[in-house]
Structure 1
Amino acid sequence: MKTLLVTLHITGGSLAILVGMVALFLKKGSKLHNNLGRIFYYSMLVMAASAVYMSIENHEQTNIVVSLLVIYLVTTARKTLTNKKGVIGNFEKLALVYALIIVVVGIFLIVEIMDLRGNNLEPIDYFLFFYTFIALLGAILDTVVLINGKIVGSRRIVRHLWRMVFALWIAVGSLFLGQPQVFPQVLQDNPMTLASPFLLVTVTLLFWLVRVWFIKRFKHVKY
């Protein structure tokens, strides 16, 4: 069972990173971009779902939260893209509940770590705080969407973009920065080489957010 989960996790993650990096530089809304987006979506679900089980089994606090978060991000990003009319329904309400559950889980694990930390038994992983905050940010933005009663125009595209690309950011960072030992020694000896894909995704995410959000002509783009 463990071997199967590891295989699914590695296969899903590798495929997601590959197609996700390609999709970043394709024309948004094109047929190829949309097809690769679907592959990215399902690959990320496979990677994250297998990671949830393994993280719980190994009691890896940060990985539990980040795996649940990735599922939330790609699912809501995908739904936002397919919801062309921007109508708010039960899915968005359930997404808010799910995000709040992640926040609660994150806080519970933070408290647990702090208790153990008091006895010098557990190091603090600040990424657990960070990913719990991202889940809280998602919940806040979901609440705003529910209050507004719709999500259209540039807001809809931004919602799709930041969630999908941030999920890719997590995957790329987890591989290139979190697992450097899987790469040849020559790459491990040059940290900037391994950091390059991570920095590229970061810059691209900021570029598209600024372009879509601040350039008026994108406010009426239909995807």
Structure 2
Amino acid sequence: MKNISDKNLFVTATSLALIASILLMLFFEFRGVNALIVVHVILGSLAFVIGGIALISKKGSPLHRLTGKLFYISMTVSVSLTLLVSMMPNHVSPSLFQIGVLSLYFLIGGRRSLAFKRSEHQLLIDRILAYSVISVSLVIMLYSVVLDGEFYPLRTVFGSIGIAFGLIDLILFNQPQNIKRKWLVLHISKMLGGYTAAVTAFFVAQNILSGYYNWFIPTVFGLIYIFFWLVKLKTFKPALST
């Protein structure tokens, strides 16, 4: 897998996911949306397990790199299917769409941050990702309050997280030397954000806790763990010394 690009892996995994969905419809009489959901759950479960291995394995080791890439591909395809389902008739879900965009922002941004250590890396796609997560978060948050006239905790919390991370990215992107030094911090924090999404999905699907606890408890622990790594990597040291 070392010489296979993320793009080729993603295309291959997506093609296999769509083929699996078609087979479910043809031979097991699944409705289209149900077939997509089944494949999404299988890939999400795989990402949950493999991502856990990547999380506890030694950073930079062959095992970490392999499981990290497998986690990225399986989770990215799984989330992409979620976005598709969230826009299908009778299954339209602004909350699901918002969380899907946030998850893809973490996953794609986490992988792309590996290239920040290279001076020739172009930040156009990274800026687009940041602007996209900010825009989607703002629109869905305002849509809920202004048009629906209702307050949705999920959309507000995850929207705020998306806006905060997106703004931090845009600030860092204007500091090329700074971002070159902090590529590891950005990689770890965003991949942890992506894995937190996988854990949250598992909690919600299995209804391990109840109600909003399934959504918020994994998120809180994920943010705490991200903060732990920020401190461990001395991210705040320059700011505190100035």
- TM-score of the superposition, structure 1-length normalised? 0.76
Tell me the residue number matched to 1:121: none
Q: Quick check: 2:230–2:236 contact (8 Å CA) kept in 1?
A: no
Q: Rate the CA distance shift 1:52–1:161 in 2: closer, same or farther, 3 A.
A: same
Distance 2:163 2:193 in 1: 15
Q: Which residue of 1 aligns with 2:144?
A: 110
Q: Is it true that 1:152 corresponds to 2:183 in the alignment?
A: no
Match of 2:9 in 1: none
Does 1 or 2 have the higher relative contact order (CA < 8 Å, sep 6+)? 1
Which of these residues, 57, 60, 78, is aligned with residue 111 of structure 2? 78
Please name the residue that 1:141 is paired with: 168
**Amino acid in the other structure paired with 1:72:** Y
Matched, 1:28 2:79: no
Counterpart code for 1:28:
K
8 Å Cα contact 1:24-1:204 kept in structure 2: no
Match of 2:231 in 1: 210
Aligned to 1:180: 206
1:92 — aligned with what? 126
Check the 8 A contact 2:86/2:96 in 1, yes or no.
yes
Which residue number corresponds to residue 220 of structure 1?
none
Aligned counterparts of 1:199 and 1:7: Cα–Cα separation in 2: 28
- Is 2:33 aligned against 1:10? no
- Does 2:68 correspond to 1:37? yes
Shift of the 205–33 alpha-carbon distance from structure 1 to 2, 3 Å rule, reads same
Three-state SS of the structure 1 residue aligned to 2:134 is helix
C-alpha displacement of 1:33: 0.4
Please, what TM-score do these two structures have when normalized by structure 2? Answer: 0.71
Residue 59 (1) aligns with residue 87 (2): no
Shift of 1:214: 5.2
1:3-61 deviations in whole A, cap 9, x for unaligned?
33112211111011101111111111111101111111111111111111212231222
**Structure 1, unaligned stretches of length 5 or more?**
118-123, 182-186, 217-223
SS at match of 1:83: helix
Deviation at 1:79, TM superposition (A): 0.3
* Paired residues of 1:65 and 1:105 also in contact (CA < 8 A): no
Separation (CA, whole Å) in 2 of partners of 1:168 and 1:96:
19
Instruction: Tell me if the contact between 1:52 and 1:63 (Cα under 8 Å) persists in the aligned partners.
Output: yes
- The answer to whether the Cα contact below 8 Å between 1:158 and 1:213 also exists between their aligned partners in 2 is no
Any stretches of 5+ residues in structure 2 without a counterpart? 1-31, 238-242
One-letter amino acid of the counterpart of residue 163, structure 1: K
Does the 8 A contact of 2:116 with 2:180 survive in 1?
A: no
Q: How far apart, CA to CA, are the structure 2 residues paired with 1:143 and 1:56?
A: 28
CA contact (8 A) 2:110 2:186 kept: yes
How far has the Cα of 1:99 moved from its partner? 2.1
SS of the equivalent of 1:16 reads helix
Query: How many residues are paired up?
Result: 198
